[in-house]
Structure 1
Amino acid sequence: MRQFHHIGLPTDESHPGEYFVEDTKVWVTDPRKHPYLVEYLRFEPDSPVTGPVRDLPHVAYRVDDIHAAIKGEDVILEPFEPSPNFTVAFILKDGAVIEFMKFENESDLPWR
């Protein structure tokens, strides 16, 4: 399964309802609360995330198997858990940043 979930846009502006992801030192919003499924990402200056994930917009897809989704791809951010039972990874494909997301129940996510 590969199902569209959201578009992520880096920003320098704070947005209502942001949630802090400690591992990556980034503030994120809930794309389900945006009329066009946009997630805003505001990186702290000392965020370990660099390069395309930090600088470019991304398209996110929910997947059943994150490791199968990234197999053979140009992985630019290895799988990690921003919260329990929620794993994400980022690839670069034809110059575009793609996020794959694996979670059991979207309503259990801390910023949802």
Structure 2
Amino acid sequence: MRKINHIGIPVQKPVSGEMYNEGMQVYLTDFTKSPNKIEFLRFDKNSWMPEKIQTLAHIAYEVDNLDGELENAKVLLPKTIVNEHLTIAFIEEEGIALELMQFN
């Protein structure tokens, strides 16, 4: 079952409170500090991240079984370990990117 966690919105200009994630080559804000659970993302111009993630808003869902969610899905970004508590992946559904988040 999917549970909405946050909404990610790509931006072109710096946003107050953004932090840099070197591995993903993106500046992002902490959605847990947003009353509307919004994460702003500003990508480096040479970012390797897929275009749909860089240019379109995404919905992030918490899932219990990330591997199961990835079966038969159109994967944009394979499973990526963020830290010891979180693994993510991005898939495409209905023409947009969805972030799937499994907390350990």
The alignment's TM-score, normalised by the length of structure 2, stands at 0.90
Spell out, residue by residue over 1:31-50, the C-alpha distance to the aligned partner (whole angstroms, 9 max, x if none). 12112111001101121113
Give 1:19 deviation, angstroms: 2.2
Distance 2:46 2:82 in 1: 17
Task: Report 1:10-21 matches (<5 A).
Answer: 10-21=10-21
Give 1:86 deviation, angstroms: 1.7
The match for 2:57 is: 57
Are the aligned partners of 2:6 and 2:37 in contact in 1 as well (CA < 8 Å)? yes
SS at match of 2:69: helix
**Seq. identity, %:** 34
The match for 2:43 is: 43
The number of equivalent residue pairs is: 104
Q: Mean Cα displacement is larger for which, 95-104 or 76-85? A: 76-85
Gaps of 5+ in 1: 105-112
Q: Does 1:6 align with 2:6?
A: yes
Distance 2:4 2:78 in 1: 20
* Aligned residues: CA RMSD: 1.4
The match for 1:89 is: 89
Which amino acid counterpart does residue 89 of structure 2 have in structure 1?
A: A
Are the aligned partners of 1:6 and 1:37 in contact in 2 as well (CA < 8 Å)? yes
The match for 1:76 is: 76
Give 1:98 deviation, angstroms: 0.7
Q: Using a 3 Å threshold, how does the CA distance of structure 1 residues 19 and 103 change in structure 2: closer, same or farther?
A: farther
The alignment's TM-score, normalised by the length of structure 1, stands at 0.84
Give 1:2 deviation, angstroms: 1.7
Are the aligned partners of 2:88 and 2:100 in contact in 1 as well (CA < 8 Å)? yes
